[in-house]
Amino acid sequence: MLLLRRCPRLARLCSINSHRHPVTPALAPCTASFSSDSDRGSEFRWSRRWTHAVAGLLAGTGAVLAYALHQHKAEKADAITGQTVDKLPSSSTSSSSTSSSSSSSSSLPIFSQDEVSRHRTLQDGVWVTFKGGVYDITEFVAMHPGGDKIMLAAGGAVEPFWALYAVHNQDHVLEILSEYKVGELRAEDQKKQQSLNPSDPFSSDPERHPVLRINNLKPFNAEPPPEILSESYITPNVFFFKRNHLPVPRIDPESYKLTVEIQGPNRERGGALSLSLDDLKNKFPKHTVTATIQCAGNRRSDMHKAKQVKGLNWGIGAIGNGTWSGAKLRDVLLAAGYSPDDANWARHVQFEGLDQDVAGTTYGASIPLRKAISEDGDCLLAYEMNGEELPLDHGFPIRVIVPGTVGARNVKWLGKIIVSDVESSSHWQQNDYKGFSPSTDWDTVDYKTAPAIQELPIQSAITVPADGAIVDRSDEEVTLKGYAWSGGGREVVRVDVSIDGGKTWKIAQLKSSDKEQTAGATAPPPGQAWAWKLWELTVPLPADTEEMEVVCKAVDSSYNMQPDSILPIWNLRGVLSNAWHRVKVKIQEEQDDQ
Amino acid sequence: MLLLRRCPRLARLCSINSHRHPVTPALAPCTASFSSDSDRGSEFRWSRRWTHAVAGLLAGTGAVLAYALHQHKAEKADAITGQTVDKLPSSSTSSSSTSSSSSSSSSLPIFSQDEVSRHRTLQDGVWVTFKGGVYDITEFVAMHPGGDKIMLAAGGAVEPFWALYAVHNQDHVLEILSEYKVGELRAEDQKKQQSLNPSDPFSSDPERHPVLRINNLKPFNAEPPPEILSESYITPNVFFFKRNHLPVPRIDPESYKLTVEIQGPNRERGGALSLSLDDLKNKFPKHTVTATIQCAGNRRSDMHKAKQVKGLNWGIGAIGNGTWSGAKLRDVLLAAGYSPDDANWARHVQFEGLDQDVAGTTYGASIPLRKAISEDGDCLLAYEMNGEELPLDHGFPIRVIVPGTVGARNVKWLGKIIVSDVESSSHWQQNDYKGFSPSTDWDTVDYKTAPAIQELPIQSAITVPADGAIVDRSDEEVTLKGYAWSGGGREVVRVDVSIDGGKTWKIAQLKSSDKEQTAGATAPPPGQAWAWKLWELTVPLPADTEEMEVVCKAVDSSYNMQPDSILPIWNLRGVLSNAWHRVKVKIQEEQDDQ
């Protein structure tokens, strides 16, 4: 514990420990034993998958030092054989909070969830719960092989995280945890489940991962922490931002029907086509498309900071990259009787969701017919997301995937498709999700003057480090990470990154997968680059300043650039916030041991 | 003359007299008599066509005042019946230059072209030549119904302008001109023709309109003055910017052959298709597309001003909007045997020009196959430009029109088309016409790292007023004009204009033709908006400043915006210069009569 206390540097690293660092000679032996097969070292022999996921983090100084600390700890643990499960809370625990709970049948104190929730920082102590136990893992944070990701669970349960990272389901992980047990969770909090209020239209909403940052609870709108976005090229389903306009409908996949209607002048039709989920899965070829979906409101908080806007205060996480599988919208339209002649009158394809408000109004949107029917448009009626059944929050059983197009048109819980001469009449098509001039305010806005947002403009953001992060001068360099994407299938061809607020620029390395890029990697055909690129850049820490302003800006294959600043693109709804992204990072000299 | 001298305001108006102004009561009678049928008024009864072309100018104060002046003049002229053609130069001529020429058979002095050329401003006097006569039209400039357009001919011949504006071919126009005769042009200058040097590879280049601003003579690269661009929705052929890479080839339309070759693995072909000009005109349906063509280097001078670049110093005029007619590239490729199976290996369609350097290297470029073969791509093999035979400078007899794509790929004097798996190997595809990071310089540039420019990003510019123009405080308002365009068929949906350097914005009115816009005007299908929009905005003059910084920025249908500033998009070749366009305008109080 003292050892940790003497390393304030470690604490700081928790907010930014994913930068690269050359291993200094003094630490090299630790690195060597880390990869050894000794019994003690084996506690950190993670699965290949895990290793891959946290490779960037493990390369950091933090992990190296953390491992040294753990060795120290493990040596002590060896000396106290058997004392692994019901260890009493140590008096040296950094969290000095006194339990107000009465004693129970266990010899350990009882804590309420509220008390646990108060322990979310290294200063207050980092507590987590697991199967009714309360654990003070403050000391372990710096040793966690997954780096500061562990902080995401601070003050709550670890189960949702462990469920995602199967590497934790090993005895030695439980053993390590047991060392930190400080109490039991109050019985009523253990039993506490999301209370289902039958009169609440949101009562059937699914559970969500607690790591999500909630912008609005009902309807549910939440985004992952930025650093998760750049951790994997494909965004895991649970971390993928959720943007619901209405309660999540519970749809019985057995009785689900999708209606496809082709309106048209003087057209005799035998009624609309009705397709079951089974039809969609079996009567049409299955196509898979990797596509990024971004909410029009992504980065609204940046715009809001510049000047107030109306809308959910999204950070930079209202974007994700998924692999979607389903029937081609084109194939379904053709099956419904669409013919090239329909292009003479039809202009739009409308989608109606099965999610509805109390008045029965359903979510709706439309896209240009050309996008829907084009061979190259790659629009899907998706029933799978990242190889799994489409999750409830993402539109189970069917959602439309309109690659390159704003999230709002990728209608979830799809109930009806209409080929029409007009756009969807929904509020979300006609009024919302449109861009206006900075001079337009709520008194002067005329919704008809602006087109509905379809393709989105070039975008990029910095995911690591976070704004306000601290890096150590002695690290000498820092690795910056982020994402970049453009709508309309325009490929991101370059990301420029500045560490001096935009005065000078360096070119970031682009990644189109989690694998090492090969020189001969096939670029997507022009106009079909639906997926984002992750970017990374390691830069030496500038010698002459204590603060770096990191800025990124991306360029797409049409050489569209992001605008420099926010105010000139400000709009009353705070959509299309794609000015250069900026974060400020402090560079501090390593503090002396106390 | 004195009257003019007493109106310094008029002189200033010449640099910006196209703003609107409410007719003040004092001037209203003049306006009334302007539209009367009196003999004197009839001198300005222009044809309907001309009236239309200069409508905006006629509405200005300048024209109203000018007419008042002309009336005064005309009254004087009436008193001197018969003295119309050989009027002696007045000693009160504002240009005090003394002729160095000896007297000739005429009673008027002889001037050399050099001497005439020195009279291009109101300060030095404005001289023009017409059929061997030299005319000092300084006094007439402010009265010209076509406004300051007359200044384009200053120091040179008026014939090229009159050839364009047939309204001048009227007796009373000649009468007016005759009043200003001051001398004769030296015989050798009259006879002087462009000397044809047979050893000069550019000797067969065609004649060009003298109004063009020449950025390079050989090869010929020139652009029209900005104000001409916003004068008509369709840019007249002679004013359309010329961007030649090599000498203009003289091609016999009778023997012209276009070769179409489909390369391909293991493909047995009966040789390439060869098409005559007649074949292209008669064996394929004729299609017409209105499309804007912009040079990648348009507005390079703005970038050069910020930091030196390498390339022709284009102003804002390397862009034009034309109506192109010809065979669809798609139809010709299909006729040459292209089949959908070819999409399995083919990626590009290459074009070879018939223009070549001394070593026989021809101009070349390529576009993505998808653009070339798409029904919606609207690529043409054009033989007409604005309803006329394709001019020599624009690729006679055939040029490729690739709507939405940088000018460099719209290959002129087309000799060969090749469907291929690779891009054109030409210097212009592989090295030139690519965008790089501001951090890339001539020492570090690696051409392979950047994609060839195809679709261009959103662009806009201010054509009126010119940078440095002066407006009169008493005018109370000023009309700003310009163009906006985006590549890839993305429609311009909004132009924001600022008169305070970008602090606040107003929305300009957009025009998609020279006619009044009707509410029900059909927008082009999404992704097929190939033509620019002209924009216009009349704003009150700000009361609290003597200088306005006018700024414009456009938004396209994918909500791409122009970047704010130039340095962050600077690139070593100075291409893709699309930051906000800015001009500074001085507002001055009317000076007292002297």
Six-digit token pair at B54? 């200069």
pLDDT tens-digit map of A448-461: 999 999 999 999 99
DSSP one-letter code for B186: -
- Whether the per-residue pLDDT at B91 is higher than 80: the answer is no
- List, edge to edge, every strand of the sheet that includes A492-498: A470-472, A581-588, A547-556, A492-498, A506-507
> Closest residue of B to A551, CA-based?
B568
Closest CA of chain B from A245, distance in Å: 23
* Contact list, B453 vs chain A (CB under 8 Å): 559
- Whether the per-residue pLDDT at B123 is higher than 60: the answer is yes
- % of chain B exceeding 70 in pLDDT: 77
pLDDT tens-digit map of A474-491: 999 999 999 999 999 999
DSSP one-letter code for A594: -
- Mean pLDDT lowest among A456-465, A510-519, B31-40: B31-40
- Whether the per-residue pLDDT at B336 is higher than 50: the answer is yes
Q: Of A80, A90, A102, which is closest to residue A2 (Cα–Cα)?
A: A90
Angstrom distance (rounded) from CA A370 to CA A378 = 11
* pLDDT band per the 50, 70, 90 thresholds, residue A355: very high
Angstrom distance (rounded) from CA B413 to CA B395 = 4
User: Quick one: pLDDT at residue B357?
Assistant: 82
- Whether the per-residue pLDDT at B79 is higher than 60: the answer is no
Contact B576 A559 (CB under 8 A): yes
Closest partner CB to B493 (pick from A370, A439, A451):
A451
User: Quick one: pLDDT at residue B94?
Assistant: 37
Q: Average pLDDT over chain B, rounded to whole?
A: 82
- Mean pLDDT lowest among A79-83, B159-163, B313-317: A79-83
pLDDT tens-digit map of A231-243: 999 999 999 999 9
Q: Is B168 a catalytic residue?
A: yes
Within the 342-381 window of chain B, which residues sit less than 8 Å (CB to CB) from chain A?
Answer: 347, 368, 370-371, 376
* pLDDT band per the 50, 70, 90 thresholds, residue A546: very high
Give the DSSP H or E segment for B428. Answer: helix B427-430
Q: Is B573 a catalytic residue?
A: no
- Whether chain B has a CB inside 8 Å of the CB on A553: the answer is yes
pTM (predicted TM-score): 0.72
Torsion A269-A272-A276-A280 (CA) sign: positive
First-residue to last-residue Cα distance in chain A = 14
Torsion A307-A310-A312-A317 (CA) sign: negative
Q: Is B30 a catalytic residue?
A: no
Give the residue-averaged pLDDT of A490-512: 97
> Closest residue of A to B505, CA-based?
A439
User: Quick one: pLDDT at residue B147?
Assistant: 73
The amino acid sitting at B426 is S
The runs of H, that is alpha helices, within A374-457 are 427-430
pLDDT tens-digit map of A250-290: 999 999 999 999 987 756 555 689 999 999 999 999 999 99
Give the DSSP H or E segment for A57. Answer: helix A55-58
* Contact list, B458 vs chain A (CB under 8 Å): 560
Angstrom distance (rounded) from CA A266 to CA A370 = 22
Give the residue-averaged pLDDT of A401-408: 98
Question: Which SS3 state, helix, strand or coil, does residue A238 take?
Answer: helix
Most confident of A144-148, B61-65, B274-278: B274-278
Contact A487 B558 (CB under 8 A): yes
- Mean pLDDT lowest among A93-102, A308-317, A535-544, B486-495: A93-102
**Antiparallel, parallel or unpaired: β A547-556 and A492-498:** antiparallel
* Contact list, B375 vs chain A (CB under 8 Å): none
Q: Average pLDDT over chain A, rounded to whole?
A: 82
**Is the previous residue joined to B198 through a cis bond, with omega within 30 degrees of 0?**
no
Q: Which residue has the higher pLDDT, B237 or A64?
A: B237
Q: Give the C-alpha distances (Å, rounded to integers) separating B568 from A173, A267, A564, B337, B443.
A: 50, 55, 8, 46, 19
- Whether the per-residue pLDDT at B73 is higher than 70: the answer is no
- Whether chain B has a CB inside 8 Å of the CB on A563: the answer is yes
DSSP one-letter code for B531: S
- Whether the per-residue pLDDT at B538 is higher than 50: the answer is yes
> Closest residue of A to B580, CA-based?
A563
The answer to whether the beta carbons of residues A165 and A228 sit under 8 Å apart is: no
**Contact pairs from chain A to chain B, CB under 8 Å:** 120
Q: Give the C-alpha distances (Å, rounded to integers) separating B208 from A125, A163, A354, B156, B160.
A: 80, 75, 65, 14, 9
First-residue to last-residue Cα distance in chain B = 14
pLDDT tens-digit map of A547-579: 999 999 999 999 999 999 999 999 999 999 999
* Planar angle of CA B291, B295, B296, nearest 5 degrees: 120
Give the DSSP H or E segment for A173. Answer: helix A171-178
Closest CA of chain B from A401, distance in Å: 18
Sequence-ordered strand ranges (E) for B441-579:
459-464, 470-472, 477-485, 492-498, 506-507, 509-511, 533-540, 547-556
Give the DSSP H or E segment for A50. Answer: helix A48-53
Contact A568 B525 (CB under 8 A): no
User: Quick one: pLDDT at residue A71?
Assistant: 43
Angstrom distance (rounded) from CA B483 to CA B534 = 4
Q: Of B134, B117, B130, which is closest to residue B158 (Cα–Cα)?
A: B130
Give the residue-averaged pLDDT of B458-482: 96
Residues of A serving a catalytic function are 144, 168, 243, 295, 433
Angstrom distance (rounded) from CA A183 to CA A415 = 50
In DSSP terms, which residues pair with A275 in a beta bridge?
A258
Angstrom distance (rounded) from CA B81 to CA A574 = 71
The answer to whether the beta carbons of residues B322 and B290 sit under 8 Å apart is: yes
To the nearest 10°, the Cα dihedral for B434, B436, B440, B445? -30
The ipTM assigned to this model is: 0.72
Six-digit token pair at A101? 């709970």
pLDDT tens-digit map of A414-428: 999 999 999 999 999
Which of A298, A537, A559, A582 should be substituted to probe chain B, the one whose Cβ sees the most B Cβ atoms within 10 Å?
A559
- Whether the per-residue pLDDT at B2 is higher than 70: the answer is no
The answer to whether the beta carbons of residues A240 and A320 sit under 8 Å apart is: yes
Angstrom distance (rounded) from CA A153 to CA A146 = 12
Six-digit token pair at A100? 């107000």
The amino acid sitting at A113 is Q
Within the 432-461 window of chain B, which residues sit less than 8 Å (CB to CB) from chain A?
Answer: 435, 437-440, 450-451, 453-458
